[in-house]
Amino acid sequence: MSYAVKEMFLTLQGEGVQAGRRAVFVRFAGCNLWSGREQDRARAICRFCDTDFVGVDGLSGGRFADAQGLADAAVQMWSGGEEARFVVLTGGEPMLQVDDALIDALHAAGFFIAIESNGTIPVHPGIDWVCISPKAGSEIVQRRGNELKLVWPQPGSDVTAMEGWDFAHLLIQPLDDANAAANQEAAMALVMERPRWRLSLQTHKLLGLR
Ligand SMILES: C[S@@+](CC[C@H](N)C(=O)[O-])C[C@H]1O[C@@H](n2cnc3c(N)ncnc32)[C@H](O)[C@@H]1O
Ligand SMILES: Nc1nc2[nH]cc(C(=O)O)c2c(=O)[nH]1
Ligand code: SF4
Ligand SMILES: [Mg+2]
């Protein structure tokens, strides 16, 4: 299979339990919950997306003809030794494109593979770290993984039901929009009420990283 990649970059993982780790991000083009066009945002299932995932025109983006080519590009982007190689597959919705060949090629290159997914498509079983971020109004089929990262506030989310899903870590991430300060307060209040949850900040934004 070929892969449409919006952009690829080396940074620190900004969010979740793996925050602070040196990471290659592979941002796949396209999502099943929003077209990515501003004129469609108001009627999309997911309306708060902070990311441009349309096309393959970002820095180090492109169409990769095969898994080996994409894994080679990730190794080049890592630009370090063979130790602790860490890749984050995101998007857009990465599970629209991730397949056996890509997981095998990235593992052969020595990567620990993390994914950021909206949970509407079962994630590939070979992935080493699964982060699911549910969106109200979508059906979540992937109810197990390493971390559940709920953007907050999200009217229509059943937090109690999510506590029954099979995740090692439950995270609340303040919605980054025009009401960011109030959203942070709401997220902190939820953690104070439900101590199984903890706060995830988008630290890359605080630090001025990508
Ligand atoms: C851009 S999404 C791509 C991966 C996948 N489609 C998903 O939604 O999980 C990456 C992460 O950013 C989060 N996110 C997107 N927009 C956000 C916003 N405005 N504020 C806070 N987090 C946001 C998503 O919930 C997800 O955890
Ligand atoms: N530094 C950094 N960390 C991130 N963690 C999840 C991100 C994403 O957009 O999936 C992201 C991102 O875009 N940048
Ligand atoms: S599901 Fe993820 S990539 Fe798709 S629109 Fe929502 S936040 Fe953005
Ligand atoms: Mg992001």
Chain segment 102-146, per-residue pLDDT in tens: 999 999 999 999 999 999 999 999 999 999 999 999 999 999 999
Total number of domains in the chain: 1
Task: Give the predicted TM-score (pTM) of the model.
Answer: 0.99
| SS3 category, 203 | helix
Query: How remote is the CA of residue 25 from the centroid of ligand 3, in Å?
Result: 16
At residue 160, the pLDDT reads 98
At residue 1, the pLDDT reads 83
Q: Are 45 and 24 in contact (CB under 8 A)?
A: no
Q: Structural domain of residue 131, as residue ranges?
A: 3-207
Give the mean pLDDT of the chain. Answer: 98
Query: How remote is the CA of residue 158 from the centroid of ligand 2, in Å?
Result: 25
- Tell me the best of 15, 24, 49 to mutate to test the pocket of ligand 2, counting ligand atoms within 8 Å of each CB and taking the most: 15
67-76 residue pLDDT tens: 999 999 999 9
Task: Taking residues 181-198, report their average pLDDT.
Answer: 98
- Residue 207 has a CB neighbour count (10 Å cut-off) of 11
Judge if the beta carbon of residue 154 lies within 6 A of ligand 1.
no
* CATH number for the domain that contains residue 125: 3.20.20.70
